[in-house]
Amino acid sequence: MASPARFTFDLDLSQRVASAKPAPPPIPTVPEDLVAQLIAQAREEAYAEGLTAGERNATSMAAQTMAAAAATLATQTAEMTAALDDASALARREAVELAASIGRKLALHLLARYPTVELDALIAECMQNLGGVPHLVVRCHPSIADGIRDVATAHMQTSGFAGRLIVMGDPDQRLGDGRLEWVDGGLVRDIGAVSKDIDSKISAYLAARSGQAKPEESDH
């Protein structure tokens, strides 16, 4: 019977294992100029994005600033308009009151200088329409009674009035005022009443102007 052969380990296992492993692939490399180009491109894109975002932010801030300025301007304009309206109304009132005051002083001056003028015009107007009246009574301030009698007598000759003329000095009548009386009528010249009527018309005018200004303010 033959003896089994001995295993002598005469093989180099390290070489067999080494030869069984494949060689690792080479590591790819990127050229430096390509890397620099990519970095520059990334910087440009980041800069562009930042610039766009900054412009949007600046535009938004500018719009907000303009809106705030417009609101402030509108408020100030409304306040200025209201102030101008008030100043205009005050100037108008003062001008009207000044004109009325001057008118009153001028009227008093004219009455003192020509006290019979108003009654002269009133008598002339009445006598044109009193042809069939039996008598006419004229009441006036005692200081001008004689002058009024002369005036009325002169108008009788030109108007055709043939009735009886009575001129009475009445201390209750102010200088320039007078009363004409006949059978079925009469007329009164009252400077005080005329002055009150003028004041009433002035007040109504100013109130109307003030009422017109208020809707204009509300429209603003």
For residue 201, the model assigns a pLDDT of: 86
Domain that holds residue 70: 51-111+194-220
Position 7 in a domain: no
Position 181 in a domain: yes
User: Above pLDDT 90, what percent of the chain?
Assistant: 19
Position 92 in a domain: yes
Whether the per-residue pLDDT at 4 is higher than 60: the answer is no
Residue 135's CATH number: 3.30.2320
- The answer for residues whose C-beta is within 8 angstroms of residue 181's C-beta and 6 or more apart is 136, 137, 139
Alpha helix segments (H runs only) across 114-190: 117-127, 145-159
- The 10 Å Cβ neighbour count of residue 64 is 10
- The 10 Å Cβ neighbour count of residue 187 is 13
For residue 145, the model assigns a pLDDT of: 94
Position 168 in a domain: yes
Are residues 123 and 180 part of one domain?
Answer: yes
- CA atoms of 156 and 137, how far apart (whole Å): 13
pLDDT band, residue 15 (cuts 50/70/90):
low
* Strand partners for 218: none
Whether the per-residue pLDDT at 150 is higher than 90: the answer is yes
Give me the number of domains the chain comprises.
2
Are residues 100 and 77 part of one domain?
Answer: yes
For residue 18, the model assigns a pLDDT of: 47
The mean pLDDT value for 90-105 works out to 80
* Spacing of C-alpha 44 from chain mean position: 57
Helix, coil or strand: residue 137: strand
Which of 51-60, 101-110, 139-148 has the highest mean predicted lDDT (pLDDT)?
139-148
Position 123 in a domain: yes
Q: Mean pLDDT in the chain?
A: 79
Length of the chain: 220
Are residues 174 and 69 part of one domain?
Answer: no
Position 81 in a domain: yes
Q: What is the amino acid identity at position 215? A: P
For residue 114, the model assigns a pLDDT of: 84
Are residues 199 and 103 part of one domain?
Answer: yes
Helix, coil or strand: residue 92: helix
Which of 19-33, 90-104, 115-129 has the highest mean predicted lDDT (pLDDT)?
115-129
Are residues 143 and 91 part of one domain?
Answer: no
Position 41 in a domain: no
Whether the per-residue pLDDT at 191 is higher than 70: the answer is yes
Q: For residue 142, give both structure tokens.
A: 């005692």
The mean pLDDT value for 151-180 works out to 90
Identify the helix (H) or strand (E) that includes residue 166: strand 164-169
Query: What are the tens digits of pLDDT across the range 23-56?
Result: 666 666 767 777 778 788 878 887 887 778 777 8
Q: What is the amino acid identity at position 101? A: S
Whether the per-residue pLDDT at 105 is higher than 50: the answer is yes
Q: For residue 34, give both structure tokens.
A: 């390509």
Are residues 203 and 103 part of one domain?
Answer: yes
Closest CA to 136 of 195, 190, 182: 182
Whether the per-residue pLDDT at 16 is higher than 70: the answer is no
Are residues 120 and 107 part of one domain?
Answer: no
- CA atoms of 199 and 83, how far apart (whole Å): 27
Alpha helix segments (H runs only) across the chain: 13-20, 32-113, 117-127, 145-159, 191-219
Block residue for tokens 């009574």: 137
* Spacing of C-alpha 94 from chain mean position: 19
Whether the per-residue pLDDT at 167 is higher than 90: the answer is yes
11 compared with 140, residue with greater pLDDT: 140
